[in-house]
Every structure is written in structure tokens, then in C-alpha cells.
Amino acid sequence: MFTGQNFQAAKKSAIVLLVVLGLLGIASSALAQISKPESTAPLQVVTKPLEPFVFIADDGSLTGFGIELWEVIAQDLGLDYEWVKVGKVTEQLAAVQDGNADVAIAGISMTPEREEVIDFSHPYFDAGLQIMTSAQPSLTPTSLISLIFSPALLKVLGLGVLTLLVMAHIIWLVERKNNGNMPSSYLPGIWESLWWSLSTIATLEYGDKEKPKSVYKRLMAMAFVVFGIILIAQFTASITASLTVKQLTGMINGPGDLPGKRIATVSGSTAASYLKKEGVSYTGVDQIQAAYDLLESDSVDAIVYDAPVLLYYAINKGKGKVQVVGTLFQRETYGIALPTGSTLREPINNELLRLKQNGTYDSLYTKWFGSR
């Protein structure tokens, strides 16, 4: 018989059962939530124009070695991403350091100072610094004046003046008694004789009135002409030699030639750090194109910057206008920048190794830089 006691027991059992079912429902819901794939926002990949690593077209589309390399990495890893475009490498690094970007790629040099505040992937490009100058060094008024007053040319000019003075004295001594056109007093006579000397050299005629008739005057005139030809030849040779030396050694051919020259580079770059460390003053610009403009307008003597960037410009847009000189110095490597502790670092490193092993990296390199 169903008593009140039994009813109470049944009621308690029902309550317990409901509580257990409720807990099971909550747990099941929690497990389902945990197992459900978490929807994540696209990665923010920050880049900057830097040919040939990054080209930004007028319509905003991107291409270049660095762009295509990242696209392959992202595709193989199944990463969803968005491009963020900035103008400076310092803006790239700041975005990664502050957590406003997940990845930064262009031609970002790996340095100990940068490694202290961000992480880098394995190196994906070997680079370094190099120097770019004008293809044909221009002879400016300042350089022309310095050339004229160079010790070698002053020596030749001094020898020429001395030769003319000797010739003038000989002419004055010969002509002062027998020629009514020659002043007998010293200073006026030497002045007139200097004119005769120059006339003899320039016109191959002795004096400015008539040709010499006596044998000794003709011999003297012939001697003066020969000396004049030698003098002019020596003067011409000295100028030619000075200009040749200027072209061969007056240009910048390496880091040792940079002090005292007008140098341009990109502010915040490793090239700027190098110049500052070496005590070389420079003009800082925001983008490398501005440095190209300064060089081609003769506002600076040279550009110091990343070698692959300068080389690409020299054989394309700057062909015939600029040249890359000297050898590579301050060797460095490029890496993909990541926030400190990023979980993307290991997958990206593995992917870079895989791309180098399967030949994909070499294909991209050949496309943009030619065969190695």
C-alpha cells in the first residue's frame, strides 16, 4: 500500500534524478562547446613597399618575392590572413611588438636589438649592405674648381708661367734695341714680350707684326713654338689624368670612402644604424624611392642600403643612371617578424625548411632574382 513515507522517498528520488539529469545536461553542453571549433579572426600581416620583395600596385594589389613566399606558407598551413600596408619598417616592427599585427614580412633584417622585443622565424634571405652611386659622376662647379687648384695641375701651371717669363725675357733682350715697337724699359717691355710669347705659341708667328727674317730669330721662334706645343700637351695631359683619377678614385667604392660624402638612406633601417655607428652623417628618408630621387638629382653622392634592393633597382628602373659599387658589407639576413612567444613561429619555421627542401623556395628566388 502506497503510504506517505513511500511518497516522500519517491519524491526525494525524483528530485535527485532531476538534479543528476541537469548536471549531465550542463556537462554535455560544456563538452560540446569545448569540442566546437573556435572561430578566429584573420591574421594581420603587415608589410611595406620594398622592391623586389614587396610591390604595391595602384589598385592596392601586392606581389613580390616576400609576398609570394608568405602566400605559399599561409596556404600550406591553412592560415586565413589580411594584408596591412605601412610605409616604414619601424611601423612594421612597432605593430608586431604592440600586438597589433601577427606577422610582418618584407626585407626585415634580423638584429640582436630587434630580437629583444620581437621574435623572428628562421632566416629566409641572405643579404647585407651595399653602396649605390650615379653611373656617370658629374663634374660640378665645386669639383671643377678643386680640380684646377689640385697640386698636380698647379705644378703644370707654374711651369707654364715660368716658361713664358723666360721666353718674354729672351724676346725683350733681343728686340728692345732693334725693334721700335718694343719698349726699352723693363716692365713695359716684359709685358709686351709676354704678349709676343703667347702669340708665338698660339699663331706660330714670332711677334704680332711680321714674320722673323733673320736666321737666329727664326730658330728662336721655332724653339718657342716647340716649347709651347710641349707645354700645351703637358697641360692637356695633366687635366686628362686628373679627370681620370677623379673618375677612378674620386668616386665612392667602399665603406671607407663614405666619410665626408653626402649619403642618403632610409631612417630606422639597419643601414642607418651602421652609418650612425661609424660616425658617418647621412640624410634620412622615409622610403628608398626618395633616396633614389636624391641621388639622380645630384643632391647626394651615394646611397647605403640593403644590397638586393639596390641591385634590383640598378638593373631595372635605374639602368644607365645608377650603379652599385664595391662589395657586400655588414652581412645580414631577413626573417619573418612575429610577436614574442607567437605560436606561429614553429609552424612557419617548419614550412620554410620544407619549401627549401622541395624546391619551391628556389623557384621563387629564380623568378625574382635570377639563378644563383
User: In the CATH hierarchy, which top-level class contains the domain 142-250?
Assistant: mainly alpha
44 DSSP assignment: E
Look at 50-54, 281-285, 308-312, 368-372 and tell me which has the smallest mean pLDDT. 368-372
- The domains of the chain are located at 43-124+335-369, 142-250, 252-331
Q: pLDDT: is 85 or 26 the higher one?
A: 85
The fold of the 252-331 domain, in CATH, is D-Maltodextrin-Binding Protein; domain 2 (3.40.190)
Per-residue model confidence (pLDDT) at position 292: 96
C-alpha cell at position 288: 628608398
Q: What are phi and psi of 264, to 5 degrees?
A: -125, 145
Strand partners, 265: 284
Distance CA 314, CA 303 (A): 12
Q: What is the CATH number of domain 43-124+335-369?
A: 3.40.190.10
How much is the pTM?
0.59
What value does the mean pLDDT take over residues 94-115? 95
Write down the pLDDT at residue 370.
Answer: 78
* pLDDT tens profile 315-348: 889 998 999 998 999 899 999 999 999 999 999 9
Which pLDDT band holds residue 31 (cuts at 50, 70, 90)? very low
Q: Cell numbers at residue 362, please?
A: 628556389
Could you tell me which of 369, 342, 347 has the C-alpha nearest to residue 70?
A: 347
Mean pLDDT for the chain overall: 82
Mean per-residue pLDDT for 297-317? Answer: 92
What the block records as the C-alpha cell of 1 is 500500500
Condensed to tens digits (0 to 9), the pLDDT of residues 221-257 reads 677 777 777 777 776 776 666 655 555 444 688 999 8
pLDDT-wise least confident of 40-44, 102-106, 216-220 = 216-220
Residue 1 has pLDDT above 70, yes or no: no
Q: Please give the C-alpha separations between residue 267 and each of 107, 171, 276, 287, 305, in angstroms, as whole numbers.
A: 14, 67, 11, 8, 10
> How far apart are the C-alpha atoms of 278 and 292, rounded to whole Å?
22
State yes or no: pLDDT of 266 exceeds 50: yes
Domains 43-124+335-369 and 252-331 share a fold: yes
DSSP three-state, residue 33:
helix
